[in-house]
């Protein structure tokens, strides 16, 4: 949109507002949210917000798309197939950025990672640095 067109729209809105004429409501912006897994309790807030109309109040026509084992949220958002994504943690976003995906992280759903590493008492692992050279599963 050119600067001239933007100025014209602003002028028209101000003119209409000064005469007390109401304009029809603008259509909600269509957006999609891709989940990292199928619908389950961890995404309750997303579904409750839709059911309570919070997205609509914000001017968004939100579609919630489920994820799954063969769905890469970061790739779908980066390609424009989805607007937003509930993806993996910080490590997933950093890895996607390392691969050149143009992603922006706008928030984290957890303040602390839910992952924990457990080791047997006799393993010799007493701190994170003790994992070096070991096989680890998450």
Q: Which two tokens stand for residue 35?
A: 């989940």
Predicted TM-score of the model (pTM): 0.63
Each residue's pLDDT expressed in tens, for the chain with a length of 138 residues: 554 544 444 444 444 343 444 444 567 899 999 999 999 998 999 999 999 999 999 999 999 999 999 999 999 999 999 999 998 777 788 889 899 999 888 877 777 777 788 889 999 999 889 989 988 876
Domains of the chain: 25-113 (3.40.190.10)
* 77 burial level (CB within 10 Å; 0-12, 13-18, 19+): buried
- What is the distance between the alpha carbons of residues 88 and 73, in angstroms, rounded to a whole number? 8
SS3 of residue 41 by DSSP: helix
């Amino acid at each position: 949109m050119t600067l001239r067109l933007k100025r014209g729209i602003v002028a028209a809105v101000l003119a209409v507002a000064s005469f007390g004429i109401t304009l029809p409501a603008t259509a909600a912006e269509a957006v999609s949210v891709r989940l990292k897994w199928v619908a389950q309790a961890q995404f309750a807030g997303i579904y409750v917000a839709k059911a309570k109309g919070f997205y609509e109040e914000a001017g968004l026509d939100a579609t919630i798309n489920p994820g799954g084992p063969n769905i890469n949220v970061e790739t779908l958002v980066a390609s424009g197939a989805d607007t937003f994504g509930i993806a993996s943690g910080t490590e997933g976003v950093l890895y996607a950025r390392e691969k050149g995906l143009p992603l922006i992280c706008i928030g984290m759903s957890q303040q602390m990672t839910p992952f924990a590493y457990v080791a047997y008492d006799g393993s010799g692992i007493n701190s994170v640095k003790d994992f070096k050279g070991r096989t680890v599963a998450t």
